[in-house]
Homo-oligomer: A and B are copies of this chain.
Amino acid sequence: MCSLEKRDGVFILTLSGEGEHRLNPASIDSILSALAHVNENAHLVSALITTNDGKFFSNGLDLQWVSEFSSSRESRSQILGLKYAQLLVAVMELKLPSIAAVCGHASAGGFIFALAHDYRFMRRDRGFLYMSEVDVGISIPPSVMSIIRSKVGSRHLTEVLLGGRKYTAPMAFKAGIVDSVHENSGETLQAAMDASVKMGKRNWNKEAYLQLRFSLFPEVTEKLGLRLKGRSPLLSSL
Residues of chain A whose beta carbon lies under 8 Å from any beta carbon of chain B = 97, 118-119, 133-135, 137-142, 145, 148-159, 161-164, 176, 179, 199, 202, 204-205, 208-209, 211-213, 215-216, 218
The answer for the CA separation of A209 and B161 in the assembled complex, in Å, is 10
Which of B118, B135, B154, B202 touches A154 (beta carbons < 8 Å)?
Answer: B154
Which of B139, B142, B211, B216 touches A157 (beta carbons < 8 Å)?
Answer: B216
Which of B134, B157, B176 touches A208 (beta carbons < 8 Å)?
Answer: B134
Chain B nearest CB, measured from A65 CB (Å):
22
Which of B97, B141, B161 touches A216 (beta carbons < 8 Å)?
Answer: B161
The answer for the CA separation of A118 and B160 in the assembled complex, in Å, is 12
* A216 in contact with B134 given A139-B208, A139-B211, A208-B139 (CB within 8 Å): no
Contact A119 B158 (CB under 8 A): yes
Chain B nearest CB, measured from A42 CB (Å):
14
Which of B139, B164, B176, B208 touches A215 (beta carbons < 8 Å)?
Answer: B139
The answer for the CA separation of A140 and B210 in the assembled complex, in Å, is 12
Closest to A218 in B: B142
Contact A118 B215 (CB under 8 A): no
Contact A216 B119 (CB under 8 A): no
Chain B nearest CB, measured from A104 CB (Å):
23
Contact B161 A212 (CB under 8 A): yes
Task: Write out the residue numbers on chain B whose beta carbons fall within 8 Å of the beta carbon of A135.
Answer: 202, 204
Which of B145, B158, B164, B204 touches A202 (beta carbons < 8 Å)?
Answer: B164
* A205 in contact with B137 given A97-B162, A216-B158, A216-B161 (CB within 8 Å): yes
Closest to A221 in B: B142
Contact A208 B153 (CB under 8 A): no
Chain B nearest CB, measured from A176 CB (Å):
3
Chain B nearest CB, measured from A30 CB (Å):
27
